[in-house]
A and B are shown apart, each in its own frame.
Chain A
């Protein structure tokens, strides 16, 4: 009677393992001798052994997540006060829409709110070093609400950190177009624009331009 072990593996309590081994070897030898030409000739799937290393993966790899110590964390990218202002501004936008939605307003508010909430999670992911996760989240946020300037701003940050000034400039351009024109947030975008300019757009790239 077979039973499950605690780790889920199957064990047979009945068979004496030495006896089993001896018997099986004997039977195996006898059978093998009786079979003429017992070899891999009849194999349906020839065993190929281990495959070569994952060179193909590496070749195809465009990006993997960067660890936190390389990114320096979101807050390290920008002036802390400016960042705090941006975060507060985003929080206020979220509150405003949540209130309007509770008040029965319709339109695209629900998608906008969900999109802004997603954006608010991104800096946390960036700080944890999950740049890839942050990008996925932010791109989804943009898909849900194309006027989400915060998502564009955070995307600009990530691309800047990852050394893609062209991309950073593109997102910053959209961020400038959609972000509220208050002083705090403008300080943030201008700071990032300076930073991107300092890192220099790559070949064929364009400097950040107003939307």
Chain B
């Protein structure tokens, strides 16, 4: 009895102790747990707020080309125009276009029906109009009519092409859209396949979680995730792909807090903009907006039901279901989504049937990839001087440039093709040089300075060094027009005033300069005796040109070169007059563009506008021109250089079929280490260099190595352009003269040439040798 009582007493004491300890320990523990819970909640909420209300995504700057104007009279029923459309992801359709981004030509009547993409320009907006263009027999636009309303429009623009994003590291590409910009069927597709009970759960769907656990236990592997859209979003925003209980719990906690803090609409919008949907090299494709462009070349608003279902279907495993690489897998997944949509009544029978039968047609996988890589590098470098890298890589800037994608494509292909062909021709020289042959090309609009195409090397993958901008090489005879401009110009510098028909002697000269003698030779090693200034340039005679330069003086020639736009630190010594000092290709393009533009110097322009992510104009660069030489002087030299194309070292271009009025000049440096050709029409200037990076002989002159590239480019780039002559400024007199005597030509003069003179300097006497009756 006593024993029993003692045990009871001990038990009571133990219980009392336990209760005491519990009373002592549990409240603080609970308080601590509550505090931690509260802190954790605050922490999660703060994180979510910062993400949802701050900068959610880093959107790298996008670089766009120039747009392209279509107007009555323009020839559009051409392969080149179709290629232009296809580069912009326009799809040719058999029936009248039923959505933006499609077109068709009809024969009777001859029309082009074109439904433009919507596009936000820096200072205007193209809503995406459907147009009908009546064409004539030659495929030229007669009139442009807006289908809705029937209004005639004077001109329209094809939107700029996306060239690339600005990034120095792998980037996430996305087009951020508002929820109401996503088509309803797209949203329903995503919900149907990823989270059917999205509107019925609070971040965690216990039912689907339980189902996933059951499936995984039965199969013995992880087959289903059971994550809601909210959980997926939390994982994408904040967590890693680590498969652990701990990560899963964090994800769930965050999902629940997110659902508490934000509306379903906000969560859905973020999800649709954030979800990863594929990869293209270093570019990760995020969000439905970007994926629609990447896979189908369309804006989300223009997707078909089948395409929306496809995008929803690939969320689960974008690589595995990639419409580009595995169209059959993508299609079966799409059909699954379509069945779900039909079952839930989101699409009707007809839509379902149509979508099921739609073939899996995707845009080219390189859409949005890097085009014009050397130009993009150049632009990115220029932008990098003005903006912090963080801004360029994250704030969604849009950069509008001057590049013409069509010309760029032509430039890329003619450089690559010609260099490859030439390498075969000069295999010995290539072997001796022990390096690949390289080339560079730059195309400018001379009157505006707009850079229209740029190729910095034969293959960007092989070498990213931009030879169009960063390389300096001896220009050889391409420098000679500067000498001629100084000699012929109305400023009358130097000891003697030259005219195009002035005779000079092509003979060995000894040019003494600061105690040394410089004695240039012609390439063939021969001298031609008395020649005119025109002949000296047309046939690129070194001795005659040096003789003219000696009379003009090195300093005025050097100063003129600087005035024309040469930025290189040109020295003052005789050999510069024959291109003996290394200069960049861009400098030569700038100099010649002054001649092409009638004496106006246009600052090269590549970046036109920079617009911030919210559409504000951040930077605007306008065409800048200023007169640096009189139009008459520029014309005199241009006229001589037209002769180079007709009779001189550039005549091969004519033999190869390039017939536009053009002027140009070849250049070859010592030992054939550099081949140049710089030439222009009134509307387009192109400079080409060919050579080895480590200077070595290639046994080819400018006319053999650079001119073919120039010719092929011009022929293709200007194929559909009308021939435009150079404007003859007032103050110029054109006179037909006898080539031998320089007098005004008579009908019987056997060799006549049309010569340009400054007003008052033209010959006033007739040819004294020919003429019969007139003599």
Contact = CB atoms under 8 A, between A and B. Distances in A.
Given A23-B202, A132-B123, A29 B41 contact: yes
B722 A132 contact: no
Contacts of B421: none
Given A33-B36, A109-B73, A169-B626, A142 B447 contact: yes
A75 B690 CA distance: 52
Given A32-B37, A60-B610, A209 B627 contact: yes
Of the four ranges (under 10, 10 to 19, 20 to 34, 35 or more), the interface on chain B belongs to 35 or more
Interface in A174-193: 174, 177-178
Nearest to B242: A42
A27 interface: yes
B240 A42 contact: yes
A116 to B, nearest CB: 10
A132 B47 contact: no
B621 interface: yes
Nearest to B154: A117
Contacts of A142: 447-448, 623
A177 B722 CA distance: 22
A48 B50 contact: yes
Contact of A113 (B36, B44, B72, B623): B72
B598 interface: yes
Nearest to A118: B155
B264 A11 contact: yes
Nearest to B181: A8
Interface in B622-640: 622-627, 631
Interface string B45-63: 0110011001100000000
Interface string B433-465: 000000000000111101000000000000000
B636 to A, nearest CB: 15
B592 to A, nearest CB: 15
A54 B610 CA distance: 14
A177 B598 contact: yes
Contacts of A70: none
A31 interface: yes
The 7 closest A-B pairs by CB, nearest first: A110-B73, A2-B199, A8-B180, A47-B50, A114-B71, A32-B40, A12-B199
Interface of B: 33, 36-38, 40-41, 43-44, 46-47, 50-51, 54-55, 69, 71-74, 122-124, 140, 154-155, 179-180, 184, 191, 198-200, 202-204, 236-240, 246-247, 249-250, 252-253, 256-257, 259-260, 263-265, 268, 386-388, 391, 395, 445-448, 450, 597-600, 608-610, 612, 616-627, 631, 682-683, 722-724, 727, 729
Contacts of B204: 27
Of the four ranges (under 10, 10 to 19, 20 to 34, 35 or more), the interface on chain A belongs to 35 or more
B249 A31 contact: yes
A14 B238 contact: no
Contacts of A38: 40, 43-44, 249-250, 253
A170 B620 contact: no
A20 B203 CA distance: 11
B73 A101 contact: yes
Nearest to B248: A35
Nearest to A135: B622
Contacts of A49: 50, 54
A63 interface: yes
Interface string A19-51: 011011101110111111011101111011111
A121 to B, nearest CB: 8
Q: Give the dominant DSSP class at A's interface.
A: helix
B620 A132 contact: yes
A59 interface: yes
A150 to B, nearest CB: 14
Given A65-B123, A111-B74, A28 B617 contact: no
Of the listed residues B44, B204, B386, B623, the one surrounded by the most CB atoms of chain A closer than 10 A to its CB is B623
Given A29-B41, A40-B47, A111 B73 contact: yes
B719 to A, nearest CB: 15
A167 interface: yes
Contact of B724 (A8, A24, A108): A108
Q: Give the dominant DSSP class at B's interface.
A: mixed
A69 interface: no
A42 B43 contact: no
Contacts of B236: 44
A114 B722 contact: no
Nearest to A35: B249
B73 A146 contact: no
Given A2-B199, A8-B179, A171-B625, A57 B618 contact: yes
A133 B608 CA distance: 12
B123 A62 contact: no
B388 A56 contact: yes
A173 interface: yes
A170 B530 CA distance: 40
Nearest to B202: A24
A31 B155 contact: no
Nearest to A166: B626
A130 interface: yes
A157 to B, nearest CB: 13
Interface string A137-173: 0011011101100000001000100000011011101
A59 to B, nearest CB: 7
B729 A211 contact: yes
Interface in A94-133: 101, 106-111, 113-114, 117-118, 130, 132-133
Contact of B37 (A29, A110, A111, A206): A29
Contact of A59 (B43, B386, B631): B386
B256 A24 contact: yes
Given A42-B239, A146-B682, A9 B73 contact: no
A173 B602 CA distance: 13
A7 B180 contact: yes
Contacts of A40: 43, 47, 238
B617 A64 contact: yes
A114 B623 CA distance: 20
A164 to B, nearest CB: 9
25 contacts: A8-B179, A24-B203, A25-B260, A38-B43, A44-B236, A45-B237, A48-B50, A49-B54, A113-B73, A114-B74, A132-B617, A139-B448, A142-B448, A143-B445, A146-B446, A146-B682, A166-B626, A170-B626, A174-B447, A174-B598, A174-B625, A177-B598, A177-B729, A211-B599, A211-B729
A9 B179 contact: yes
A114 B72 contact: yes
A1 B257 CA distance: 22
A110 B238 contact: no
Given A62-B619, A177-B729, A47 B37 contact: no
Nearest to B617: A64
B612 A54 contact: yes
B128 to A, nearest CB: 19
B381 to A, nearest CB: 15
A169 B50 CA distance: 52
Contact of A56 (B249, B263, B387): B387
A161 to B, nearest CB: 13
B268 to A, nearest CB: 6
B253 A28 contact: yes
A211 B627 contact: yes
A50 B140 CA distance: 53
Given A114-B69, A143-B445, A177-B727, 19 more contacts: A2-B191, A10-B199, A24-B259, A42-B238, A47-B47, A51-B54, A57-B616, A59-B386, A59-B387, A65-B123, A109-B73, A110-B72, A110-B140, A111-B73, A132-B620, A142-B623, A146-B597, A146-B682, A177-B631
Given A44-B239, A44-B240, A51-B55, A20 B202 contact: yes
Contact of B612 (A31, A47, A57, A169): A57
Given A27-B256, A44-B237, A108-B722, A50 B55 contact: yes
B37 to A, nearest CB: 5
Nearest to A105: B73
A61 interface: yes
A107 B191 contact: no
Given A56-B391, A113-B72, A35 B246 contact: yes
